[in-house]
Structure 1
Amino acid sequence: MSDNILWYLEKFNLFEKLGMSCLSELGKKSSMVKYKKSDAIFIPDELQKNIFFLKKGKVKVSTYNKEGEELIKTILKPGEMFGKLPYSPGSEDNDYAFAMEECTVCFMPSDEFEKLIQTDAGLSAEVMKFVGMRLQKLERRVERLSFKDSKSRLIEMILDFKEDFGKRVGDEYFIEQTLSHKEIASLIATSRQTVTKLLNELREKELIDFNRKKLIIRDYKGLKAELVYKVM
């Protein structure tokens, strides 16, 4: 077992309450892999094989419609578990996962993870809690896409990214930009042209600024004040 893998699992939020014996078992059965930007971490045919834990970088989880258009479901941050999750309703069956930048991922066989869950009540409870939180996040996303206008969806996405990836510098928040306007459009279910138009409007109001490498929230309170909830 790699000491590096065990150290990482100790730092992982999902496992921080577990005893050393359970962590050691996880470490023995885990492997660590580095991915380059745009590498596929898994595709649907491989989804059932492993459970994944993101150590470093950002991961995009997507599916595709009948026309072959990408539908981005979520962007994962370090510390998250992904793949075919235990206790989940099976909504991941057609998912793809891609590295959005250089990523380091721990993974272990799904059947081995299931065995550990069955024998360790603490691990089982933490996984159930994690999956419950993931489902709540999915429900909020469905509500957002169903009932809110494009502007509100975009602003809430920016605010979510601020919580997950933002770094505060003075009164501003810096978010490393890894999404194209097309990918943002896929994430909030609108057109690329609408995303470009709305981002430019927010920049003209000096609420945000952006380029290919980063997005800056210049006026956090002002940006939140722009939220307009309209029934679609």
Structure 2
Amino acid sequence: MLISPELLKKYGAETEDFEPSHIIFNEGDIPKYYYQVLEGRIKLNNYNEDGKELIFAILDKGLSVCELLLFIDKTYPVNAITFEKCTVIKLPKLSFEKMLDENPAVSRDINKFLSERLYYKYIMLENNSSLRPDVRVQGALDYYKSYTGKTEKFSYEIPLTRQQLASLTALRVETVIRTVKKLEKEGALKIVNRKIFV
């Protein structure tokens, strides 16, 4: 967990349960809460002018949801939508700020987390600018594994479908399927029961 649920509750956080496909916030909404995933997964997405979904991140248990926007006066540039049944803990923005002021170690942890995410976002941007599908797909897989801290080869199951990988990399799903098979032959990933391990 990025921040312990006990500490969040001490500052007034509440938990909420959501059904699959529930919209936690929409693009253009004003950030009012710190959100952290306790159970389930949430995707951050928006849609281009052709109506095609673009996925920016898939957040698992323990991760926070767009916390960086609590530090600036900007609206959400993405939607946050549950993939499955989710339990989320949320803390009002003012209480979040108070918690950080009174807990410098937590504030440092947030800064470190934001710095790591920014670093990997740069890597993702670089990979997605490549014309080579294998560079894009491998970059997305490495990005998701980076959230886990797992370093051993094939120790992490990618929690994404081929369609979701296509949405993350701006590739067609057929291209992602071919590329995943190619990467498996090259030993860059392993497929077990249609699941990708890196």
1:81 aligns to what?
64
Moved more, 40-49 or 157-166: 157-166
Out of 191, 203, 215, the position equivalent to 2:195 is 215
> Partner of 1:135: helix, strand, or coil?
helix
1:134 corresponds to 2:155: no
The alignment of Structure 1 onto Structure 2 pairs a total of residues equal to: 196
Give 1:120 deviation, angstroms: 3.7
Flag the 1:178–1:68 CA change in 2: closer, same or farther, 3 A: same
Q: Secondary structure at the match of 1:63?
A: strand
Unaligned runs of 5+ in 1: 1-11, 221-232
Q: Judging changes above 3 Å, is the alpha-carbon distance between structure 1 residues 33 and 196 closer, same or farther for their aligned structure 2 residues?
A: same
Which of 134, 158, 180 aligns to 1:199? It is 180
Instruction: Kindly state the Cα deviation for residue 78 of structure 1 after the two structures are TM-superposed.
Output: 1.6
Tell me, which stretches of 5 or more residues in structure 2 are unaligned? none
The answer on 1:184 being equivalent to 2:165 is: yes
Partner of 1:113: 96
Which structure would you say has the larger Rg? Answer: 1
Q: Secondary structure at the match of 2:171?
A: coil
1:49, CA displacement in angstroms? 1.7
Kept in 2, the 8 Å contact 1:84–1:93? The answer is: no
> Within 5 A, what are the aligned runs for 1:49-128?
49-85=32-68, 86-87=70-71, 90=74, 93-128=76-111
Write the distance in 2 (CA, Å) between the matches of 1:71 and 1:100. 15
Query: What TM-score do the two structures reach when normalised by structure 1?
Result: 0.68
Per residue, is there more helix in 1 or in 2?
1
TM-fit CA distance, 1:81 = 1.2
Out of 114-123 and 94-103, give the one that drifted further: 114-123
> Does 1:30 pair with 2:13?
yes
Determine if contact 1:62/1:72 at 8 Å carries over to the other structure: yes
The percent of aligned pairs where both chains have the same amino acid is 24
Task: Tell me the distance in 1 between the aligned counterparts of 2:80 and 2:37.
Answer: 11
Higher relative contact order at CA 8 Å, sep ≥6: structure 1 or structure 2? 2
CA contact (8 A) 2:130 2:136 kept: no
TM-score normalised by L of structure 2? 0.78
Q: Aligned partners of 1:28 and 1:162: how far apart in 2?
A: 31
Cα shift at 1:42: 1.8
Q: Secondary structure at the match of 2:157?
A: strand
